[in-house]
Structures are given as structure tokens and as C-alpha cells.
Structure 1
């Protein structure tokens, strides 16, 4: 299906309105999985022409994603990954876990960005970061699209490497997301240490639902941050 390639229009806008010299695109993967971490990539691309075929990782086949990620690793100015573990997701909730992973990614960059383009409608980052949220930013913004592809390939690879240890769950195929094979393994064997124990999938597993963890609300005194 044809699609419009991503552009630098948001980056240019942030440079013009905020004087932002370094702009990072941020995207996540793993939010809807039953197992594994949530992973966030922060990528800085400058205003260089994007590699051919760059777009939202979900619109690219696995083979093309892997090839593109290999190109992006050398093409981007810099990138860093941040993760929040299943335990952190259970303890904090997804929004706070996303924030934790995003901050880890941004703080892993060699230089603190002057502004951040965050994929989606909600600014889950908070703190003192200058954030521009962009719906479908992984399709329209070069830096966010690059972050999308890198995050997806890195997380999928990490989950696949766990395949031999957790073979019945077929993590190499589903990356911890819901699938018939994944559900069947859960029904028979129960959750692994990689599973999120506060999630509702356990409600449909009578044999294991007693393991479900009830998360206590976490109070936060963080600033809401800036949203431009």
C-alpha cells in the first residue's frame, strides 16, 4: 500500500520556534505484549535525507525491518535504547514504565536533546523535557520512524534469543505478544518470569489467575513538563 515518506517538518518547526538544535524522535514497542519489557528508542537524525523505505516499523516486513535497522544504526546521528522490565511494569503501571524507559533512552544519548518528538497523542514523558506529541509520528517524522524501526528490531531480536529457554511460548514468532501458541503455553505451563503478572490475560486462565498481581497506585510528584 503506498504511503507518504516521513519528513523533517516537525524538526524544522521545533528549530524555528524553540531554537532546538538537537531534536530526538522517540517511539516505543512492547506496550501490548504479555511478556517481555517495554522498549523505547530515542533517535537523533538531524536533517539528513532518510534512507529509502523508512516508515513506521509496523508497515514493514520483518526482513525489510532488519535490513533497514542495520542501515539506520550507522545513518542516525545517535540513538539509545531504554527498557522497563515486566516487574517495573507491574509495580508502576504502563504509563510510568513508559516514562522510565523513555528517560533511560534519552539519558543514554551522548547529548541531551533540546526537544523531543513523541509518537502518539499523550505526553507520557513529563519531567522537564520539551515535548511535541505527534499522532502517527512514526509515519510522518523521520526521527520517530527511525526510532520505531530500531526499537522494534532490537526488542524482537532480544525476545527471539530467549526462544530456546522458553520454546513452548514461541517468543521468536510472537515477541511476547498474544497469539494462539502463546495462550496455549500459558494455559498448560503458567506464566514465566518474563510475563507481566498484573495483566488481565491471567483472568482467562483459571489455573493461574491466583498469581495475578494487584498493582497499588503510585503517587508521583513529577512535573507535567512542557508540551509544544
Structure 2
């Protein structure tokens, strides 16, 4: 569902705001992850930013602070099977919905990175294009989603070491495409994505 303009901000009255972001829409393999975060104004975290702008070490450091200081946070995913069945957009929306519904506290407003909103959210919501660089709660969610997916890719590497998931994290790099051509798809490859589909 497309987002509508909405200037409501419950923080002006002490209400809670959650940020939601995803990681892993573009890769050729593995689940898509999403995170939801309600930051604590009394325990600010310096250096929050779009996870793509941060080094891996910085992301891990901030992820630890977010888990320690946030009022509530949750990470969820949609599986490769769900990506195949629903398509990547709807699977991403499902992961976002799951993350939000797993929060231990219900916010008054949810801010979602991008231009679309998941269905079934428990309160008002607003989409923010570029929100992962503009809204600290979304930045925090971006960091948790990215670090969770990177950890998943390390697990995939342990199971399928010849694909080098630890290096490309599932994205369609030259290395990944070369390994795909050499070994063919593994069960974690997204068969609906063209570079994988061409090898079936």
C-alpha cells in the first residue's frame, strides 16, 4: 500500500516511535531480513546512520549499543521459500510486519524506510524515502537488519563454503556469479532471480 503524507509525530507528546528497515532485497541468495527499533530518548546512541555507510566493525559496535539501550527491538526474516512464493517485495513487507509485531512495546507511530508500508501494522505508519539516513530509529533498524543478515551469510558460508557467501553476502558480484556458474545453485539461492534462473 502506498504511503500517504502524515505529519503526526507522537514524540511531541511523549509517545513512542518505531523505525523499520530491511536488509537483503537485492541478493541472489538467503533470506530477507527486517528490524524494528524503538529508541530510548534518555539513552542516545551517537553515530547512527544508514548501515551501508558504515564499516562492518562500526555496524557491529552500534548494533550492540542498540540492543543494550533501545526501549524495544526485534529482528525478523522471510525465508527463501517465502521470497519464491510471494516475490521479494511482498516477502520484504512480511519480514517488516513480523519485526514490528515482535516488539515488546507498541509504538504510536511506525516510520518505514522506503515508499511502501507493510500491511497489518498495529498503529499509524509513515514511509520515508531515504529514512535510514534521516531518522535515527530507522538507522538503528537498518544496522540491526544488516548485521543479522551478515551473520546469516556467515552461516551459509559454513554450509556452502565454495560459494564464498562470507565475501559477497549473496549479492551478484563477479565472484558469486563465477561460483554459481561453476557449481550451480544451492538450496539457498533465489530461483526467481534471473542470474539464478538462467542456470536451472
Same fold by TM-score greater than 0.5: yes
Distance in 2 separating the partners of 1:168 and 1:134: 39
Deviation at 1:16, TM superposition (A): 6.2
Equivalent pairs, count: 193
Contact preservation (8 Å) 1:138, 1:145: yes
Which string of whole-angstrom CA distances, capped at 9 and with x for unpartnered residues, describes residues 17-49 of structure 1?
Answer: 8x6822210000000010001000000114346
In structure 1, stretches of 5+ residues that fail to align are: 1-11, 210-228
* TM-score (norm. length: structure 2): 0.89
> Tell me, what secondary structure is at the counterpart of 2:35?
strand
For residue 178 of structure 2, what is the aligned residue in structure 1? 184
Which position in structure 2 is the counterpart of 1:99? 93
| Structure 1 residue 113: Cα displacement | 2.3
What RMSD, in angstroms, separates the aligned Cα atoms of the two structures?
1.9
1:162 match: secondary structure: helix
Match in the other structure for 2:4 = none
Q: Which runs of 5+ in 2 are unaligned?
A: 1-6
Contact 1:55 1:138 in 2 (8 A): yes
Q: For residue 16 of structure 2, what is the aligned residue in structure 1? A: 22
1:4 is matched with none
Secondary structure, in 3 states, of the residue corresponding to 1:69? helix
State the 4+ residue runs in structure 1 displaced beyond 6 angstroms.
Answer: none
Query: Is the alpha carbon distance of 1:117 and 1:146 closer, same or farther for their aligned partners in structure 2, counting shifts above 3 Å?
Result: same
* Higher Cα radius of gyration: 1
Distance 1:142 1:85, change over 3 A: same
Match of residue 35, structure 2, among 41, 44, 65: 41
Shift, 1:162, TM fit: 2.2
In the other structure, the counterpart of 1:217 is: none
The alignment's TM-score, normalised by the length of structure 1, stands at 0.79
- Rounded to whole Å, the distance in 2 between the matches of 1:180 and 1:106 is 35
